[in-house]
Structure 1
């Protein structure tokens, strides 16, 4: 397949409306039971069918264009699904026969196109009979896998596609290269695919290999960056058997907003119970996004569902961009945020009213701020006694300069007095080059403070993802040397993170006891920046099971 001897395009390509027909660039092939080979010409925006016994071109057709609305098209730090692409070429990458008539393409785009989804074509007419439109990219948004940094380019970037039959049902597997997932569709009716499940992958899934005889699907991911802890890998998924089985992923998804689009989310670095609401939690986005939002989570559903979003505002009522690393919902209304700064002086506590407007900012004491680098506050909680006396507790992630090695600070802020005092917490040690230990959450559990202590490792290298407790001090810390609070191991979360046999996430960062008495934890997916993007939302059991009978 190429050109005529005089350099002119093959007539079958020219007549089909193939772009640049004198320079066909084959990309991917698939063969049906009639020995017809379908090959995509990605940059040429076309598909060619070849009769294998004769080697002759049986048909060629252009993949056409599509307009897609209701997607995020600007890389501006906001998941804004009001954008659109108009009349763009599909430029299909992978192709797969669904049966001997219909074939499916993953429309990644390469040269002048890419429509952020996949299509089904009728090979007899060369016309599309179904197109994903915005639905493929919205799957990423709903599951917290949308890479906002790719919004201005090719979005979800569907690249791989594979078709196979399991237990008599034909499925299409479509891989998103930039959002790190494989979407599974029932294609029993090729002109009406039905979405069934999303499978989380590591970075850059390209190779999709169904193994129906063993009920397996193998997915190879190409991206490998040892310095960032992102490694190339192969994931193996097994087909569930029987009815009533619940997939291990997702643990959390979002509902639709008032415009009918899924609520955009990611980078969940904190959790708080909602006072008086047994099945409601709050979480908050961090600096991965330009505007901070508080998200409401319904834990009565499985998976848990993000049902509302509240934009955080500064004192003048404008959208604020805090690096929120902790949240506490106050029983008297509103929230405390722990805000991490780019420098020590940028760390602060921020009190919001119930509408998300900033009402108070509490800076770190200058002497403590001077000892911090870019890693500061990681978690906030508070107590309020019967007289309304409120005390806020906040954890610093790493040691401050001048403090004992391996000891981090737990800050106690007396709201009425407006004063800080500090206790010490001794971290575990690590012998792994480039690793460090730190705190990433704090919450009150009865008469104790519970903290998350973790390392900076992920995947098979991860070692420390733990919940420890210390007794809740009843008064301000004494002046002078840091008084180190003895700690007790409450729960090792590493087995929970590895229970699904997937990639072990690094950033275990959210922890709370819900109003239903259950302990919840969540990982921060860093909005897919040097991370796989999977968010693990865990129900660790009752508070008594995790923390024992005290408190």
Structure 2
């Protein structure tokens, strides 16, 4: 079936808001729903989402520290990555990509000083070349180094020698091989001041260093050649900070004849002629130009996603890669300030450009629209640089050329097939760990496996993906909106009516809402958000902080977490999303909290089958100094409240930093009388995400007997599922849980943008 056959429909008809047999809209709710839909449907066109991609994730590996720039040995058996915070070169054995293993890491600092900024491996796999920045800043001119290591035995890496280069080296790439081997190094020299400003316009101009490495193979080294850029930038129309070139990233053309070096802050690209084996030459400096977006961008940080704004954005590319000997691709991250002419930094996508500076293809709004469909669009960055495309690389997989595009803020890898550079074909969007920085590809393994790899700075992790020429097998389902009128993210609770799942976001979105998840294609690797219900009160937008949802016969109960104790609230809405009832914590329960200003509160709600009893999970209980949470029970006919205590685990490394809490509650009814009813509780620590993937320890589902929830009781819990141990769960916010058709499903809150993992954990 063609991709066009799967093109997503616009969400504009009333049956798309809700099936009429289920949702009976009042006039105010009807008008509010239409307004809610129109805000997105008129500005975000439908895009094709292929039913299957070519890449499948095979592992998500936590690292000790951060992972930034990553590469691999040519045989594809070992990964090497830079970890600036540790001053180290990390190595990973990936002989079996599904079971990677850390190897001894190498301290690359000189006398305890310096940070690695880039690493490259020689074509024969013998040497790793590491660029080292030596803690320079505006007041300290400390030249950098290339540190050369023999990596033939990755278990015992051996230092070979050091070569001094310019101040503040950033990216490097290797050209040639053996007795023609050279390193092309972007000498950025950021000269950062105390405020973090690195655009000081000319106090210490950056440059490009070409470093001879021929002597590693017995040849005569061509030494250090520095290529200055100031004069070329002065003659380039529209160049930013022409007195202060800041080379950022280096890529070598497939034929090895040309190097492309981005000058990010200058909004330019330098091309070097490498044909002479000992003397490089500056061919030209090209303007990266601007991206024009008319009525299809979101520039408002307002907790809503709607593409209706316009802007002119300087591309200011970070990474660059070649898709042919004549065409290269730019990752248009942006790194400057708003221009005097009103232009913004960053193009919010990627561009294909030829070596004469002509644009071959511009992604425009399409990359951000795909991010919206997949729940990866960061509205918190709308007023800044949107998805911030930072990494980009290319390789041939299955005999065809592919372009892999990494979003720092959206935490994804966008895959395009580029047989025709003028019409790249979107293949899929792959979730990554937080803030992917480096991307590499592995295509020449002896076993035929072809891989793509990302190094994720934000959560300190590495993702490995395997290419499948005939289409990737179905794995854990990926959630996708049916069309762009249903932006989504931050899933914080789950419930079901037996046929579909329903979910709510927390306050990452402005107006509260309910999404319906169509599970029909879950076994084939996709779950579709096919309906959205805006929540309203007397016809006005409801803006609360939903953390849990429970389906009942005539609508839903929403558990909203308060900023303080008295803000916790149960909200009953009908099937159309209109508020029917609001219930605050009674004074008797509020008085149990040690501090009335604490922000710990509702994280989930469950309802009995008859709808008369509700159970709520309080994240960390009444006293933050005690390792316990609270479970509340409310009998609605009598408004009788009961509270019991749930014992929490403790993190083995740092119990204070990685504190425990409850994220969800579900009721499993065992039969008449309720004596066999069980409450399932989702317990998690603060490890993972910004707390680093390696610190994720407790992501577990426990059960307690519902009959034991009596006033003041300390509940006895039984382990049901260990998500960290049994399912390699590294996400911090395991937030939603529901039993659907006999299986336990768990989802994480992606804080509005990023990887949303929807896991079928099997029978509870």
1:486 and 1:156 mapped to 2: Cα distance? 45
Counterpart for residue 738 of structure 2: 512
Counterpart for residue 119 of structure 1: 351
Shift of 1:430: 4.4
1:441 and 1:82 mapped to 2: Cα distance? 36
1:432 and 1:21 mapped to 2: Cα distance? 49
CA RMSD in angstroms comes to 2.9
Give 4+ residue runs of structure 1 displaced > 6 Å after superposition.
none
Runs of at least 5 residues in structure 1 that lack an aligned partner in the other structure: 224-229, 547-551
- Deviation per residue, 1:493-530 (Å, 9 max, x gap): 2245417xxxx01221211122x3332111112235xx
Shift of 1:133: 0.8
2:501 and 2:700 mapped to 1: Cα distance? 21
Matched, 1:307 2:530: yes
Say whether the 8 Å CA contact 1:19–1:44 is kept in structure 2. yes
Say whether the 8 Å CA contact 2:233–2:243 is kept in structure 1. no
Q: Secondary structure at the match of 1:149?
A: helix
**What's the TM-score, normalizing by structure 1?**
0.83
Work out which of the residue numbers 643, 648, 658 in structure 2 matches 1:427.
Answer: 648
Matched, 1:409 2:630: yes
Counterpart for residue 325 of structure 2: 100
- Deviation per residue, 1:259-283 (Å, 9 max, x gap): xx25222211110002xx52x1110
- Deviation per residue, 1:3-45 (Å, 9 max, x gap): xxxx997579736665565654433232221612223333333
Cα 1:9–1:252 shift into 2, 3 Å: closer
Work out which of the residue numbers 303, 309, 330 in structure 2 matches 1:83.
Answer: 309
2:469 and 2:359 mapped to 1: Cα distance? 35
Work out which of the residue numbers 416, 419, 443 in structure 1 matches 2:666.
Answer: 443
Q: Secondary structure at the match of 1:156?
A: coil
Q: Secondary structure at the match of 1:213?
A: coil
- Deviation per residue, 1:277-331 (Å, 9 max, x gap): 52x11100112223212111111123212222222223x3221221111101211
Q: Secondary structure at the match of 1:202?
A: coil
Deviates more, 1:429-438 or 1:439-448: 429-438
State how many pairs are aligned.
Answer: 503
Counterpart for residue 701 of structure 2: 467
2:622 and 2:237 mapped to 1: Cα distance? 68
Matched, 1:347 2:347: no
Counterpart for residue 602 of structure 2: 377
Counterpart for residue 432 of structure 2: 201
Counterpart for residue 364 of structure 1: 585
**What's the TM-score, normalizing by structure 2?**
0.61
Counterpart for residue 300 of structure 2: 74
Cα 1:243–1:394 shift into 2, 3 Å: same
Cα 1:513–1:12 shift into 2, 3 Å: closer
Deviates more, 1:239-248 or 1:174-183: 239-248
Matched, 1:283 2:517: no
1:540 and 1:239 mapped to 2: Cα distance? 23
Counterpart for residue 185 of structure 1: 416
Shift of 1:82: 2.4
- Deviation per residue, 1:133-163 (Å, 9 max, x gap): 1111223222222222111011111122112
Say whether the 8 Å CA contact 1:378–1:397 is kept in structure 2. yes
Say whether the 8 Å CA contact 1:368–1:400 is kept in structure 2. no
Matched, 1:61 2:292: no
- 1:258-337 pair list within 5 angstroms: 261=484, 263-274=486-497, 277-278=498-499, 280-301=500-521, 302-314=525-537, 316-331=538-553, 333-337=554-558
Runs of at least 5 residues in structure 2 that lack an aligned partner in the other structure: 1-205, 208-227, 340-344, 671-676
Q: Secondary structure at the match of 1:271?
A: strand
